[in-house]
Amino acid sequence: MGGALAWLAAPPAVRAQGDKDPLGSSQWEDIRREFLGQAPVVFDERVQVRGPAFAEDPMAVPVSVSALGLSDVKQIAVIVDRNPIRKVLDFHPQLALPALSFRFKLEQASPVRAAVRTGDGVWHVGGTWVESTGGGCTVPGVTRSDGSWASTLGQVSGALFESPLDAQATRLRLRVMHPMDTGLVAGVPAFYINRLAVLDEGGRELLLFNGHEPLSENPVLSFELPGRVQGALRVRGSDNNGNRFDAAIGRRLLP
């Protein structure tokens, strides 16, 4: 949190980079119009996107996003400029911290961006460049190829850890079994998780996650929850075919 506090203390002229794309992408203006509309946009170093310099496995590129230096975060959208399907996810932190990690499919070398909407309607954008041999969006996943996806569809597992980002927070790591088909493989229609909510023991929704086709097969997602989790958590979700899943995550804090 020290880094986040340092950003909070810095003057706005240092924190914000302005509205010129630091990644120099020719797709940026189209992305801005399509996903961010007419709202104000600023490139902001408080939005931190971390990924590998080179994606060894374009089917499962690990990325983490943190906007801990911003207050009143309403939404985090992850967008990949050069993917055939650009939107990876939308995350609404609600009572969670504005940070998450995940894996996604990458079709070719591209900027990977997080656009963070704060309560004043401004989009704060950060990003990184990931090199890749590509092809991650247009080949079938392992469980689709061997047919095993049907026997595990919708199974949810999870664990709780001490958060490495905030000593007072708890990390929730989830895995949801799903083939996450992009619809770009011949004969295989789009089939993906489109909604995931985490609720506390009293049924209060802590966060909402909306997935899109480029999320990796059997996605593993990490979220940061404030404080020490009391009682069991519940995970509820659905996919674009109407399949629903509902699972309890026990009160299990791991080192």
d(CA 8, CA 5): 5
11 Cβ contact partners less than 8 Å away, ≥ 6 residues apart: none
pLDDT along the chain (255 residues), means of 10: 36 52 96 96 97 96 98 98 98 98 97 98 98 92 92 93 90 96 96 97 95 98 90 94 92 47
Torsion angle defined by CA atoms of residues 94, 99, 104 and 106, in that order, rounded to the nearest 10 degrees: 120
Q: Classify residue 31: in a domain, yes or no.
A: yes
Q: Classify residue 180: in a domain, yes or no.
A: yes
Domain encompassing residue 143: 2-36+55-254
Q: Classify residue 44: in a domain, yes or no.
A: no
Q: Alpha carbon of 32 to those of 26, 73, 77: distances in Å?
A: 11, 19, 12
Q: Classify residue 43: in a domain, yes or no.
A: no
The whole-number pLDDT of residue 19 equals 72
Pure H helices in 32-190: 142-146, 149-152
Q: What is the number of domains present in the chain?
A: 1
Q: Is 15 helix (H, G, I), strand (E, B) or coil?
A: helix
Q: Classify residue 42: in a domain, yes or no.
A: no
List residues bridging with 170 in a β-sheet. 162, 225
Q: Tell me the chain's radius of gyration from C-alpha atoms.
A: 18
d(CA 182, CA 185): 7
pTM reported for the whole predicted model: 0.91
149 Cβ contact partners less than 8 Å away, ≥ 6 residues apart: 141, 143, 177, 178, 179
Q: What is the CATH number of the domain that holds 144?
A: 2.60.40.10
Q: Classify residue 127: in a domain, yes or no.
A: yes
